[in-house]
């Protein structure tokens, strides 16, 4: 029986496929098991972000504004499109700060003439 061109190609590629297949499997599983966070630039800066709860994550302050986590970095704001599991667990544990004041003026309860 005579071998066709495709049979010879298939036979010659078989050892190569056996060597490369594990690499594809590892690459695919690494993509699934990789970082669960997806960060993208925020469309707009959260308004009055200092009035919202915050916590520290990955070396910087993140603000929980209207159900989303935002953080400033250099001159831009970013938000987590897919929140990392560790930060998602903190959605019920964060800090509240007093409303930001610009200062000036007398302390509360002091009358000014």
The pLDDT tens digits for 54-83 are 888 888 889 988 888 899 998 899 999 888
Judge whether residue 88 has pLDDT over 70: yes
Same domain for 59 and 77, yes or no, is yes
H or E segment to which residue 20 belongs:
helix 5-33
- The residue-averaged pLDDT of 1-10 equals 71
Same domain for 80 and 42, yes or no, is yes
Same domain for 58 and 30, yes or no, is no
Please indicate, yes or no, whether the overall pTM of this predicted structure exceeds 0.85.
no
Same domain for 50 and 81, yes or no, is yes
Same domain for 23 and 67, yes or no, is no
Whole-angstrom Cα distance, residue 14 to residue 92?
Answer: 54
Let me know if residue 75 belongs to a domain.
yes
Structure tokens at 18: 């056996």
Domain that holds residue 16: 1-34
Judge whether residue 105 has pLDDT over 70: no
Let me know if residue 15 belongs to a domain.
yes
Residues 64, 93 contacting (CB under 8 angstroms)? no
Q: What is the pLDDT, as a whole number, of residue 70?
A: 92
Q: What is the pLDDT, as a whole number, of residue 72?
A: 92
Q: How confident is the model at residue 10 (pLDDT cuts 50, 70, 90)?
A: confident
Same domain for 54 and 88, yes or no, is yes
Q: Tell me what the pLDDT averaged over the chain comes to.
A: 74
Query: How many other β-carbons are positioned within 10 Å of the β-carbon of residue 49?
Result: 17
Same domain for 45 and 77, yes or no, is yes
What is the DSSP secondary-structure string of 47-98?
A: TTGGGS-EEEETTEEEEEETTEEEEEETTEEEEEEE--HHHHHGGGS-B--P
Let me know if residue 113 belongs to a domain.
no
């Amino acid at each position: 029986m005579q071998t066709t061109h495709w049979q010879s190609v298939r036979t010659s590629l078989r050892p190569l496929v056996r060597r490369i297949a594990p690499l594809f499997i590892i690459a695919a599983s690494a993509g699934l098991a990789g970082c669960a966070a997806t960060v993208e630039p925020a469309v707009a800066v959260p308004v009055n972000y200092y009035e919202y709860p915050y916590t520290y994550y990955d070396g910087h302050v993140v603000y929980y504004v209207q159900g989303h986590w935002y953080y400033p970095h250099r001159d831009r704001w970013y938000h987590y499109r897919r929140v990392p599991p560790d930060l998602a667990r903190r959605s019920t544990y964060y800090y509240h700060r007093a409303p930001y004041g610009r200062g000036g003026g007398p302390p509360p309860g002091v009358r000014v003439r």
